[in-house]
Every structure is written in structure tokens, then in C-alpha cells.
Amino acid sequence: MQIKDCVKVAVRVRPFNKREKDAGSSCVVSMSSTSITIQDPRNSHSRRSFCFDFAYWSHSGFTRDRSGLFLPEEPGGRYADQGSVFQDLGEGILHNALQGYNATLLAYGQTGSGKSYSMVGFGPNRGLVPTLCQRLFLEIKTNLDTRQCQVFFSMLEIYNEQVIDLLSRGARPPGGLRVREEQQRGFYVEGLRTVPCDTATQIDQLMEQGTRTRTTAATHMNANSSRSHMLIILQLKQIFSKESTSKQSNINLVDLAGSERQRSSGSEADRLKEGTAINLSLATLGNVISALADVAVGKKVLHIPYRDSVLTKLLQSALGGNSRTVMIATVSPSDICYEESLSTLRYAERAKRIQNRAVVNESPTERLVKELKAENVRLLQRLTRLEQEGRRTDHESKELRGLLSHNELQIRAIHTLWEQHLQEALRDWEQQYTTITQERRMMQMYPYIININEDAQLSGVVKLFIQDGEWDVGLSDSTNAKSICIKGLGVQDRHAVFKNVQRRVSLTPLAGSKVIINGNSISQTTELQHLDRLILGSNSTYLFIGYPSERGGDDWSRYDYDYFLSELAAAEGIQLGESSVHSSQTDPSLLAVFYDYTKLMPMVSEANQMSRELSKGVEFKLEIKNLALSDSRGQDLEKHIVIRVTSLERKQVWVWSKAKFVNRKFLMEELYQQQAESRDQSGQGLSGVALPKDRDPFWDPLEPLLLGRAHLWLQSLAFRIALEEQLEVLGSDGTEEAVLQTRLIPCNPSGVPLGEDDILIDPSELLGRRLDFQLVLDRCCGVRWIKEARNRGVQIGFRVFDGAPARYTPAVWSDVNPPLEQRLHFSSFQTSHSLLGHLQNSALVLELWGLQEGCVPLTSTLEGVKMTAEGIFIIDEAESDAMPMESLEHAGTVKALHQALEELKTTNQSLKKENHALREQLNTAKNGGECVRGRSLRPSCDAEFARALKVFYHSMTSVRGQLQRLRRHRPSEDQDLLALRSFVDQQARLLRDFSEQLELSVSALKQEVAAIVRRKRERSGIWPS
């Protein structure tokens, strides 16, 4: 009977991990019953809510007992432990399988969100898979009197569209196992090993074997588990003797790859975005889920793309087919992981609309047995009838009895086949048990190293023992008995030597090999201590375990993959100190950058190694963009990671975003794997195959690069004071890229510079009046970009307002001190409050763009730009936005006439006043002209005030530069005591210089103002001279 059934979806929220705790992350996920709400950490009003079949809060409210089992703090608390999850999900899967239905469990989520913990578990916290197997065999044992059960176990991995049998005892075939299709079976993996099991312990051992194979394969292929899918297939056959019936069901347990891999770049376009097969499975799975969700709501869908990837072929029955399916989506509640968690919830919401059509499965083998038994009955009936009729002949009797014997033999063969498979599996299991026993004995005798993997389930699987004497470590399987074979990118044939003498272990790197201990690269023999962290090659990570006498009761679990990465980052000077970690003042973008930086470090190391082995001549380097830059108001820009890509031969440079680099890294791995397989077949080394440029992941078209920014503060314009500056152009890391000579010149509408008499003491006097000024870009000096390669060029770009179109100077090539010779006239016909505020509080951000041979220079656009007939740029948006563009010139002319009329009126009024003053002077000439001195006093004092203000403003400009240098000053990357003392001394000197300069400027202004006031009083006769 066919049953229509929707996919059941559960969501589980995990606790903060160590990295998120150290970063001071906040929780952005809340849960009520089966409803989950996620809040955008950047916008408190932006929330999204989702409703699922099950929701598990495992973030807080738990305690750990002595055995390591996590339990709710209070009975009946909201914390969902492993038992609660199995009770809802695992019990249903087990029940469906025992009823004869196919059952599937999918685990989906971001890498590190808790998929593997929910599926497999850790220590005493057993996950869904081992608990399900344990309960399955308990159920079989309980019902032995009514049915016989046979269980077969398979385990495979899909990486880069290749199927790998994790239980195979032979060599992995090139290209992996093939996926075939039959009308009855559907899609299946040809040659996949299936192992019969009669206890849960055997399945645990097989899972351990498969995990070991998976770890070794991942290291050999330069892959990691976050980019691969793991499938465990349990085939359950039940034979009911009384009813003479049987049922056969498949239980598919699927741990999907990290969900962040399907979003290769978010919104950013990459010309090779769709080229990687690594992303294909998850992307196709998303397309299948979307198509099936549309079908469920009645939409017409012409094609469901099951055949587009290996994963969706094997999951066809689980998605919209003959299976009862459950999906568990795991999310991180951290604000750092908001985007990925939201994407996971949206994915799960689509999946819950899928409808399957499950039926009870009859075993094809049992159907054959039934047919044979039925044929035997018919043959016996025929034989009896012939004997009764007396028409039997010896020939017919022999023929019928031969058929009966043949059928009986077939039936016995089918029934004994299970026993044979089981005995073979038992022999394999005994052999594995012997190996495991020997390994445990050696662990109590010798030191060893264990692998550390990004997936905690794969850590500690590989143990390499260091016995007495010298042991070569490397790629080659040497005939030397004392050699340890390690596979991995950047590992040489003979990479290093372990030496174990008198219970002391040392490690010696060989020439040209890369060895890192506790985050620091070594080149000489180093004695190892218990729990030292080793990195061999690009990213083969191991933890050293000393002799049993050294071990004590240490907790090794804290040395996880993140610990290795944080240690590497700290060695490069990228770390969050204890004081800043828990401080509420820590920049959130810095926390996210620290996370991204540590995650990308091993990927960059691997990309550099592949570039070297493929002779690409390309170098990758991590950079933190906007680390030392700010916006037009002086506020720090959001920090993020970029990857600087340099062609060492041609001196060409690209800057890739994190997402673009991750996508390209996948493509590099594919290319590297193809070359590695060709090398294995031909016996020759790797060589960089000449790919077309448009398909080469190491190449991109050249584009202008933003080298740095400089800030030209506009405050002087509010006082109508001319400003001449030599600005430091700073790169994103705070290094000086060039010095830019600039001027701001207040002028009249004709472009004639204003004099000292036009300086304003109160900037509010500008309101409602016309303001004209010129921006002059004279020259760039000491351009580091061109010093490195003379065939390069530069441009300067800027925006007068934040939202205004960008303007670019003409490109200048091959000159370290390029002349710019740009003079631009800007005008505001009526200065508004917003413009005046902008001048007083903001800066003109000048961007230095680098050009390379072959790239197209940046060009200015006139779209949205308002100009007069004289070529003056209009910046008073309040007045001009409402004007049609075609009447802009006429409006400018009318305004200019009005302005001239107002100036004439002002001049006429001034002449009248002057005339009246002269008459008064003539009338009072006989009294000594006291009134004249009194009336001429104000203009004289105003001019003196203006000059004093101008001097003070220029001195304050120097003070501001000193403050910027103080802000940019950071300790060196060498975190030793000597460097720290030097930094403290320099910081103290800069602070002292800044304080002295500020005090001198303020003191000079006070003295000048006091002198002006004193002279005014002396002239007015208040103080006797």
C-alpha cells in the first residue's frame, strides 16, 4: 500500500564553541515550541521566524556528569540531549524500517554547526546512528521467535562527484565507483561492499574502519570532510516464518557537506563560479528540493534534476520517492554565523514541503524463493498425478525429480549465502580486533602522534607510533623498515626525521621541508614535549602524545583544529588579547575578521603549495582590508579579509574577496587532483598543463586596484581659509603608499582666490551665501606601487559628498612622482546647514588606484553631475535637485545675477555708511579725531582675529596629522619583550609630541587673542597707555 508522507524536518541549536565564546558572540536565535526566530545582528528590527516539525534547544541549560554525559540542568528543562533527539527522530526511523518502509535521515548545516555530533555523537553522548543500530539489534533479539533478520552495512563518501567505498579492502579505482541504474533497484553504486552484521558492536567497528579510511583518503586527496558527503546504508531483511512473508528496507543515514559550500560567493560574480564539481552536489540537491516543494504546492514542474549529481541520484528515493524521510538541520546561534544559519533555516523550510510515496518493500530474493517453492509444489503435483494415472515413465520421473532437486539446492544456496557472508565478516572483524588490540598495547608503550581534523569525528583516528631509534617521515613508502608514511599537500618524500633515544623524542626537518611546532616554523632539531602541536607540509596537523609517564590526566580535547589555527594566527600577530576578547568595546567586524583569517590560513597555504607544484608562479597572501582606514567622517570602516594574488614573474597583482578565493581554491584542487592522477599513471612529476586563460583558476583579467586612501579635511572651507597639505596615502594595513600634494582654495565665482580680509570668524555667516572653492591635486610623490614595477600607473579618485559620483584623474604611467595637475572648481549657490555641517565634520577621501599593463583605467561619469556653462561643479543638492537638467544653466545664470545684485546693494550700503562716517570725522576733527580711531577699531581687530585664526587652524592641521600617526601606530608583529619595550617608548614619545604641539597651538592662540584684546582696550582708552 502506498502512503503519501511529507518530509519531517527538525532543527537543533548547538552551544557556543570556544571560538565564539572567546569572541564574545551574542545569541541571535530564539525558540518557542517548534518555532524558531533569528534576528539580524546589524538590525534589531529585522527578524525571521520559521516553524518546523521538531525544534531542539541544545544551546544552554545543560550540565555534564562525571562520565561526560550532557544532561538538562533541571528535570524537564528545555535542553534537548541526544536521547531526546533519538526519541523523536530515531524511533520513527526504526519503526518505519521494521514495518518494511525505506527510511532516510539527512543531516544538513554549516560546518561546525553540530551535524556530526547529532549523527555520530562523541564519547558517552552517542548520536543517532550508533543508537539506532543498538536499538535495531535489540529489537531483532527480542523478536527472534517470530522472524529472522539479516542486516548488511555499507559506508561510502562522495567527494568532488566521485564515490569512495570506505569499507573497501582494495585500491581505490581511478574516478571512484560508478553509479548505475536499474528499473527495479533504481540508482545504485556498482561494486560497493556490503558487510553482514549480527551485533551493534560489529557496526561500531565498521564505522571506525570507514572513518579511518575517510581520514586517510581526505589527507591523500588534499580534501577535508566539510566538503564531502558521507552515506551509511543499512539493509534490513526480515523473514516471517509463520506468514511465509518477508520485508526488506534500506535505512540511509546521510551526513551532508557543510552548507556554506553551496554559497560559493553570495552576491559576488566570478567568471568560474559554476565550474567546480565540489559545489555541484549541494547545489543540485537545493534545486531538487525547490522543484519538489513547487510540486507539493501544485506548481507545474517540467523537470526534477535528480540526474545532475551523484548525491541526488542516490537520494532519489529519499526525496519524492519510496521512502520516509527526516531532515535534521543544525545551526549556530552566534551572531558571527548569522548569514549561514539563516540560509540553513530557509533550506530546511523548503524541504518540509516535499511529499514522498512510501511502500512496503518485498525482498527480490524472497520473491525468487517463493517462485521456486511454488514451482516445486506444481512439480510434485504433476509427479503424483502421473503416478496415479499409471502413465509415468522412467525418463519423465528422472526429469521431474532432477528439477525438484535443482530447486531445493537453489533454495538451500540462498539460505546458506547469508551464513557464508556472516562468517566472512566475522573473520574480518576478528582481524580488525587483533589490530585494534595491538594498537592499544602500543599506546601504553610508546609515544605517538595523532591526526587533528576540522571534523572532530575524524580527529584521533590515525595514530603513528615513534618507537626507539630514528624514523623517516614522508610520502614515500620506503623499503626502510623504520619509516612513517604521511600523505598530504606539501609533504616531501623524506620530510623530517623523528628520533627516540633514551625516552626523549626530537624532530629534525630535512632540507626544503616545512615543519611547524606550536605555531612556529622550525629549521633545526627540536625536542618534543607532551601535547606539542605539529604541522607537516601545508596543513597536515598532528598532536604529539608523549610516553605514558608524561600524560597524567591532561584534557586533550581542547587541542582541536581551531586551536591549531588560532596558534598559527597568533604567530603572525593576528590575535584577540584577553582584555579585548570580553570587552564590549571590541569591534564586531574585528571578531568576524579574526574568525575568517584563521579559517583561511590553511587554505592559503595549500593554494601556495599547489601553485608551486603546478609551476603556476602565483603567490597568495591574506590581508585585512580597511584595518587602518576610515570614512569621510573619520569613523573606522568595516574590516574584512581579502587575498592578494601576485604573479611573481610578471609582477601582476589581483585582489580577491574571501568568497572568490574559496571558489577558486576548489577549482585548484580539481586541477591538482587531475595532475596527481596523471602523475600516478605516467610515473612522472606534476606539470602545469597550459590551460586556456578563461579556464585557469590561477588567473584573472587585470583590474585597477585600490592601493590606499588619504583624508583632506574640509573644515578650513567653513572659515574660507586656504589649505595646502601633503597627505599620506595609507594602505589598508597602515603602510604609506604615497604622499599626495593637495590644496583647497576658497575663491570667488570667477576663480580668483580670496584674501585674508575674506576669512570668517563664525562659519554660520556662510549660511544662505554662495561658496566657491577649488580643489587642486598637484602631484603624487614616492608611489610605492610604481617603485615595485615601472610599467604601472596610478589614478586618483574622490567624491565631494559620500553619495556623489566618483571623479578620477587621468592615468599617469611609469612615474614614481607622477604629476596630476588637476584643478576643479566647486560651487554652492546657497550654503545650507547640511553642507556647512559636512564641511565642518567631514573630509574629502582621496583614493589612490593602481593600474597595470593591460587593464582599463577608471573613467569619470557625468551622469547625475550638475555643472554650469563655465564648468563649475554644483554641490548644493537642496536647491538643484528639484531643477530639470535642461534648465540648470539658466538657473545658474539667474542665481549669479541675483548674487551680483545683492553684492551691488551691499556695496552701495557700505558706501553710504562710509560717506556718513567721513562727514562725522569732519565735524569732529577739531576734537582730535577720537571718534575716527574708535570707528576704525573694529575692522582692524577683525583682521587681526582672522590672521590669528588662520595661524591656529594651520597649526591644528599639523596636530591632526600627529593624532592620525598616533592612531595608526601599532606594535610590531614580533611579540617579544624587546619589541614591546620599543613600541612603548615610541608610543610615549608620540604622545609627548602630540601633547606639546597641541599645548603650543592653544597657548599661541590664547596669547594672540589676549594681545588683540589688550590693543583694542588701549586704543579705546579703557587702559592707559
What is the C-alpha separation between 122 and 130, in angstroms, rounded? 11
In the predicted model, what is the mean pLDDT of the chain? Answer: 79
CA separation, residue 731 to residues 623, 628, 640, 705, 952 (Å): 11, 7, 14, 11, 30
d(CA 739, CA 737): 7
Tell me how far apart the alpha carbons of residues 993 and 997 are, in angstroms, rounded to a whole number.
Answer: 6
626-649 in b/e form (b: 16+ CB < 10 A) is bbbbbbbeeeeeebbbbbbbbbee
C-alpha cell belonging to residue 306: 535528480
pLDDT tens-digit map of 1001-1013: 776 766 776 676 6
Answer for the pair 149, 196: CB distance below 8 angstroms, yes or no: no
What are 128's three cell numbers?
543517532
Percent of the chain with pLDDT over 70: 73
Which residues lie across from 251 on neighbouring strands? 103, 234
β-bridge mates for residue 252, sequence order:
104, 233
Position 487 pLDDT exceeds 70 = yes
CA-based nearest residue to 277, from 262, 287, 267:
262
Residues, the chain = 1025
Q: Which of 743, 749, 747 is nearest to 871 (CA)?
A: 749
685 has pLDDT over 70: no
Amino acid present at 617? G
C-alpha cell at 484: 612513517
Does the pLDDT value for residue 776 go beyond 90?
Answer: yes
Which has the minimum average pLDDT: 219-223, 225-229, 482-486, 592-596?
219-223
pLDDT at 1024 (0 to 100): 46
| Cβ-contact 627, 732 below 8 angstroms | yes
Q: How far apart are CA 232 and CA 156, in angstroms?
A: 7
Which of 51-55, 183-187, 332-336, 618-622 has the least mean pLDDT? 183-187
Give the single-character DSSP code of 401: H
Q: Look at strands 504-509 and 496-501 and give their pairing.
A: antiparallel
**pLDDT tens digits, residue range 140-154?**
888 877 788 888 999
Q: Per residue in 638-665, pLDDT tens?
A: 778 899 999 998 889 999 998 889 888 8
Provide the pLDDT for residue 777.
95
The confidence band for 882, taking pLDDT boundaries of 50, 70 and 90, is very low
Q: What is the dihedral of CA 119, 456, 463, 572, to 10 degrees?
A: 170
Over range 808-822, report the average pLDDT.
93
The region, left, alpha or beta by phi > 0 then psi within -120 to 50, assigned to residue 169 is: alpha
What is the sign of the dihedral through the CA atoms of 501, 506, 507 and 508? negative
pLDDT above 90 covers what percent of the chain? 28
- The residue with cell 563655465 is 870
Query: Worst-scoring range by mean pLDDT, 113-117, 327-331, 930-934, 994-998?
Result: 930-934
Average pLDDT over residues 697-701: 91
pLDDT score for 43: 83
In angstroms, the first-to-last Cα distance of the chain is 118
